[in-house]
């Protein structure tokens, strides 16, 4: 099981619905209502914060790759 599927299994149904909405906004490049922030030291890696959830993604030219979906804790932003 990959990392994102594992994280999705840990979310409640309400959180999954929020996540689907956020992912569709990311896919449509509609970042206006999202809490979007560029991560320090990275020019093309961003995070979106929604409550306790963090979605970290890589944005390069016209492609977006979701790197992780996690609940916020002390290890969320550590380098791997």
CATH of 3-71, one of 3.30.2310.20, 3.40.630.30, 3.40.309.10, 3.30.70.2190: 3.30.2310.20
pLDDT digits (tens, 9 = 90+) for 37-49: 999 988 899 999 9
Identify the band that residue 62 occupies on the pLDDT scale cut at 50, 70 and 90: confident
pTM of the model: 0.75
Main-chain dihedrals φ then ψ at residue 53, nearest 5 degrees: -90, 145
Each domain of the chain, given as residue ranges in start order, spans: 3-71
Strands 63-71, 35-38: pairing is unpaired
Residue 5 in this model has a pLDDT that exceeds 80 = no
Question: Coil, helix or strand for 16?
Answer: helix
């Amino acid at each position: 099981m990959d990392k994102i599927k594992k994280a999705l299994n840990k979310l409640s149904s309400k959180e999954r619905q929020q996540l689907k909405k956020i992912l569709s906004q990311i896919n449509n490049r509609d970042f206006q209502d999202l809490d979007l922030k560029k991560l320090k030291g990275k020019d093309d890696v961003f995070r979106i914060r929604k409550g306790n959830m963090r979605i970290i993604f890589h944005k390069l030219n016209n492609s977006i790759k979701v790197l992780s979906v996690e609940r916020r804790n002390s290890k969320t932003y550590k380098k791997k």
